[in-house]
Amino acid sequence: MTTRSPSEPRKQKRRVSFEKTFEERLAEEAERFRDAAAKAAPGMARELLLRRVQQAERTLHLNNWLKSPGLRPPTHS
């Protein structure tokens, strides 16, 4: 493991700016996978595309839940 010397400059993280929100990009991704699955022949490839659709939709749902104003931390009884 190498360590940085005090005189060595720190690397800055690249900031990426997006034109669309995370939710918009995720919804578009789900729609692209849904369209691809509709065109695919029945089989493993189609099933994988449908899983990606479900994953994107679950992620969107969880993200909306996490951002909701009514979200409360769990209570420890």
- Residue 54 counted as domain residue: yes
The secondary structure element, H or E, covering residue 65 is: helix 44-67
Kindly give the confidence (pLDDT) of every residue in the chain, 77 residues in length, as a single tens digit, with 9 standing for 90 and above.
666 666 777 777 777 788 999 999 999 999 999 999 999 999 999 999 999 999 999 999 888 888 888 877 667 76
Range of the domain at 44: 27-66
- Residue 16 counted as domain residue: no
| Other Cβ atoms closer than 10 A to 60 | 17
- Residue 75 counted as domain residue: no
DSSP structure string for 36-58: HHHHSPSSHHHHHHHHHHHHHHH
Q: Helix, strand, or coil here: 59?
A: helix
- Residue 13 counted as domain residue: no
Q: Residue 8 corresponds to which tokens in the numbers above? A: 């060595």
- Residue 9 counted as domain residue: no
- Residue 34 counted as domain residue: yes
What is the domain count for the chain?
A: 1
- Residue 33 counted as domain residue: yes
Evaluate if pTM is beyond 0.75. Answer: no
Task: Determine the pLDDT at residue 4.
Answer: 64
- Residue 6 counted as domain residue: no
